Amino acid sequence: MNTPNTSTSSTRTSGAGTRTEARRPGDRKPGDQGLGDRKPGDRRPGIRTSDGGPSTAAATAPAVAADTMTADAVLWIELLLRQFPELLAELAPAYRSPSAPRAIPARAHPAPAGPTRAEREEALRAEQAHGITPSGARTSPLRLHVSDAVRDITDGVIELDEAVHDRLRLPRPRREQVPGRLLRVAGLLDRAAGDDVLLAHVRDEVRRMARRCTRALGGAEPVVRVSGRCPWCDSVSLRAFPARRAVLCVNPACRCADRACDCRTDPAHRHAWSEGAWARLAAESGADPAELTASTADTARREGSR
């Protein structure tokens, strides 16, 4: 007498008369589609509308981000166009050529052509004793930090112009001065809007060069006051520094509970909270998280309006 094999169970479908094997716990249905079987064009149900089309939020989010980056890039380019001529003017030394004739007021005795012997001897003694160079009509020294900034910005604009043309598969750009190249890049931003990588690169580069130009001209770093109190010193001394993407306590007497912190030994040390600690800072200081994020937003409008 044969005994049935109980290792595999079988079920009979109603009305079909065929036998099918029962599914084990890890098996999939014949019509199921696994994660590895998903085609590149398939989308998750959460980002599609009821009629099968793409969600409106998912479709408009990249467009809004591209518009924001384009607007920021235009503002940074405008700021750089306005400040770069001032940087070139700072580079030129302010002196009069010795061969140029000097205007002598009427009824005035002409000044001596150069310092007298006594003045030269006195200037030499002062320089030997104290290392002091007397002031007078002489060539102004070249400002190296301004020269470095001009060279960095010039090279950066040339490389950016060539990179944009190469990415958009355009012919090599013609030679042009810095303002002309910046205007040319600004005119190609509409064509670059479809390339998020290129658009972000343009915005970051013009922002870096505009900030370098501002610092070389003596502009101060933008600072925004933040509501709330410092968790350590309980003073209203929290300030946002958008260029650093950080919030600092500007109170020089602020001391924390960490004995290894430099705030106890370094008078110039300031407690800082980076972007990852803003949520905890808002909870501890009583500041509004939305206001904190907006204060640290690095935009050209804030720096260009100062």
| Residue 19 dihedral angles phi and psi, to the nearest 5° | -105, 135
Higher pLDDT, 48 or 245: 245
Query: Is the separation of the CB atoms in 196 and 206 below 8 Å?
Result: no
The confidence band for 102, taking pLDDT boundaries of 50, 70 and 90, is: low
pLDDT score at 270: 87
| Residue 242 dihedral angles phi and psi, to the nearest 5° | -60, -35
- The domain locations on the chain are 61-92+141-216, 224-304
**Adjacency order of strands within the sheet including 238-241:** 224-225, 238-241, 246-249, 272-273
Instruction: Report the b/e string of 222-242 with b at 16+ CB within 10 A.
Output: bebebebbbbbbeeebbbbbb
The confidence band for 46, taking pLDDT boundaries of 50, 70 and 90, is: very low
Q: Which residues pair with 48 in a beta bridge?
A: 54
Angle at 38 between CA 37 and CA 40, to 5 degrees: 130
The confidence band for 287, taking pLDDT boundaries of 50, 70 and 90, is: confident
How far is 232 from 256, CA to CA, in rounded Å?
A: 5
Say what the pTM is. Answer: 0.54
How far is 75 from 214, CA to CA, in rounded Å?
A: 14
Higher pLDDT, 160 or 46: 160
258 alpha carbon, distance to own chain's centre: 32
The three state secondary structure string of 169-227 is: CCCCCCCCCHHHHHHHHHHCHHHHCCCHHHHHHHHHHHHHHHHHHHHHCCCCCCCEECC
Q: Find the range with the poorest average confidence among 94-98, 179-183, 193-197.
A: 94-98
Ranges 2-6, 120-124, 143-147, 179-183, most confident: 179-183
pLDDT score at 34: 45
How far is 295 from 222, CA to CA, in rounded Å?
A: 11
pLDDT over 50 at 302, yes or no: yes
